[in-house]
């Protein structure tokens, strides 16, 4: 754990150094600004660690306040870094080329470029704070000939990656609950990371969840953050909120469809497990990470996943896309099944989203 913290701090410090390097031509126009910048940057580098320490020792108000400041700063820094790193790469490449062959002096690093990037960062950052609250409803219609019972259509609502905890509380959950009350789905499925790493003070949110009682029930699986928060504590919160937690289990509410749910695990092959639940009914497979195991394909019609947030803040979707090529939307799979990867319904870390708005996914499963 200590090695992880040190590595994360080194990377975060390097990001600050790149941003400072890019801004320096602009800051240097006033003698005091470079020093003042570091007076601000150094505490922000250590803010995430400070949040965890304050939370651990019971200073919740201080932890929440520092989290809002520190993680909002992080979001703005990410946006600035994504542009300054390109500038830095150009300067490095040109420096190498000048060593190989005579070239005229050329640089993109200037007070003007720093000012332009600063304005873009400020504009994009302010917009991303708004986008994080712009909850979208994504509607997907699928043919489902094997719906059971007398149902001709089933409406499934998927939630994912809400990250309830230190920062995301009623401010995030109340609009979600209100939207679900409006949509009136037949069943609600939460595909992991409903909670974040700190959930000591969110018990009151169970009452909000209790306002949602779809006829076919509410089901959840554990994502990686449920394990970070504490497996037992996370399950207790989900159950108090009215969710049945599926841990390598299946259910067939009212005999209309089958739901399979598994715990999050990196690169886990659940074929031998889900084979036991092979069902003639339309089968929804709840799995936190949007990864496909070929041998699992015969045993589900629709896999619902989340985890990647589509990067949450552009252009980090390109990085998450390397790890999870299917990270946003509906993907047809061999054999006629589908994967749907949610962008997520909340935020993790920075309370910001850029070109990746939060979503509730609504699936209309209809008989032909």
Higher pLDDT, 216 or 201: 216
Query: 258, 277 in Cβ contact below 8 A?
Result: yes
* pLDDT of 108: 87
Q: What is the largest CA-CA distance in the chain?
A: 78
Of 81-95, 177-191, 262-276, 282-296, the one with minimum mean pLDDT is 262-276
User: Do 118 and 168 share a domain, yes or no?
Assistant: no
Query: How many other C-beta atoms can be found within 10 angstroms of the C-beta atom of residue 167?
Result: 23
* pLDDT of 106: 77
**Any idea what the CATH number is for the domain that residue 204 is in?**
3.60.21.10
* pLDDT of 167: 94
Rounded to two decimals, the pTM is: 0.93
Tell me: the pLDDT tens digits for 253-305? 999 999 999 999 877 889 999 999 999 999 999 999 999 999 999 999 999 99
User: Do 282 and 301 share a domain, yes or no?
Assistant: yes
User: Do 142 and 126 share a domain, yes or no?
Assistant: no
As for how many domains the chain has, the answer is 2
* pLDDT of 267: 74
Residue at which a domain ends, from 73, 101, 131: 131
Confidence of residue 150 (pLDDT cuts 50, 70, 90): confident
Show Cβ contacts of residue 142 under 8 Å, excluding neighbours closer than 6 positions: 302, 338, 363, 364, 365, 366
269 is in which domain, residue-wise?
137-366
Q: Please state whether the peptide bond connecting residue 315 to the residue before it is cis, i.e. omega within 30 degrees of 0.
A: yes
* pLDDT of 225: 96
* pLDDT of 198: 79
Residue at which a domain ends, from 131, 155, 177: 131
Stretch 107-112: mean pLDDT, rounded?
A: 91
Of 48-57, 311-320, 334-343, the one with minimum mean pLDDT is 48-57
User: Do 218 and 104 share a domain, yes or no?
Assistant: no
User: Do 152 and 46 share a domain, yes or no?
Assistant: no
* pLDDT of 101: 80
DSSP state of 311: G
Residue at which a domain ends, from 131, 153, 170: 131
User: Do 121 and 141 share a domain, yes or no?
Assistant: no
Stretch 9-24: mean pLDDT, rounded?
A: 97
User: Do 72 and 142 share a domain, yes or no?
Assistant: no
Phi-psi region of 44 (alpha: psi -120 to 50; beta: other; left: phi over 0): alpha
User: Do 108 and 151 share a domain, yes or no?
Assistant: no
User: Do 92 and 187 share a domain, yes or no?
Assistant: no
Tell me: the pLDDT tens digits for 155-171? 999 999 999 999 999 99
User: Do 258 and 143 share a domain, yes or no?
Assistant: yes
**Parallel, antiparallel or unpaired: strands 249-251 and 244-245:** unpaired
User: Do 57 and 168 share a domain, yes or no?
Assistant: no
Higher pLDDT, 179 or 149: 179
User: Do 276 and 349 share a domain, yes or no?
Assistant: yes
What is the C-alpha to C-alpha distance for residues 368 and 365, in angstroms, rounded to an integer? 10
């Amino acid at each position: 754990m200590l090695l992880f913290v040190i590595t994360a701090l080194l990377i975060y410090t390097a990001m600050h150094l790149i941003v400072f390097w890019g801004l320096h031509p602009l800051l240097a126009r006033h003698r005091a600004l470079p020093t003042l910048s570091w007076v601000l940057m150094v505490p922000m580098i250590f803010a995430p660690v400070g949040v965890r320490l304050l939370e651990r020792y019971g200073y919740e108000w201080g932890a929440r306040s520092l989290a809002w400041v520190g993680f909002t700063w992080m979001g703005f820094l990410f946006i600035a870094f994504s542009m300054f790193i390109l500038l830095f790469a150009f300067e490095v490449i040109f420096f190498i080329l000048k060593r190989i062959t005579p070239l005229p002096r050329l640089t993109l690093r200037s007070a003007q470029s720093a000012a332009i990037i600063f304005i873009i960062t400020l504009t994009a950052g302010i917009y991303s704070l708004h986008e994080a609250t712009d909850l979208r409803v994504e509607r997907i219609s699928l043919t489902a000939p094997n719906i059971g019972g007398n149902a001709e259509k089933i409406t499934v609502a998927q939630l994912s990656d809400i990250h309830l905890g230190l920062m995301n509380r009623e401010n995030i959950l109340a609009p979600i609950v209100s939207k679900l009350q409006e949509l009136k789905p037949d069943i609600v499925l939460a595909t992991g990371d409903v909670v974040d790493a700190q959930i000591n003070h969110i018990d009151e949110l169970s009452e909000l969840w209790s306002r949602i009682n779809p006829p076919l029930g509410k089901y959840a699986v554990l994502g990686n953050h449920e394990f970070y928060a504490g497996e037992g504590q996370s399950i207790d919160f989900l159950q108090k909120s009215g969710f049945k937690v599926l841990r390598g289990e299946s259910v067939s509410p009212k005999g209309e469809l089958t739901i399979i749910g598994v715990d999050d695990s990196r690169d886990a092959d659940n074929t031998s497990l889900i084979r036991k639940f092979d069902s003639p009914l339309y089968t929804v497979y709840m799995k936190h990470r949007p990864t496909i195991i070929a041998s699992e394909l015969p045993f589900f019609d629709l896999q619902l996943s989340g985890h990647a947030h589509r990067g949450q803040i552009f252009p980090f979707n390109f990085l998450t896309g390397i790890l999870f090529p299917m990270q946003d939307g509906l993907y047809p799979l061999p054999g006629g099944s589908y994967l749907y990867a949610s962008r997520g319904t909340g935020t993790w870390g920075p309370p910001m989203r850029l070109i990746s708005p939060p979503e509730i996914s609504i699936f209309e499963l209809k008989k032909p």
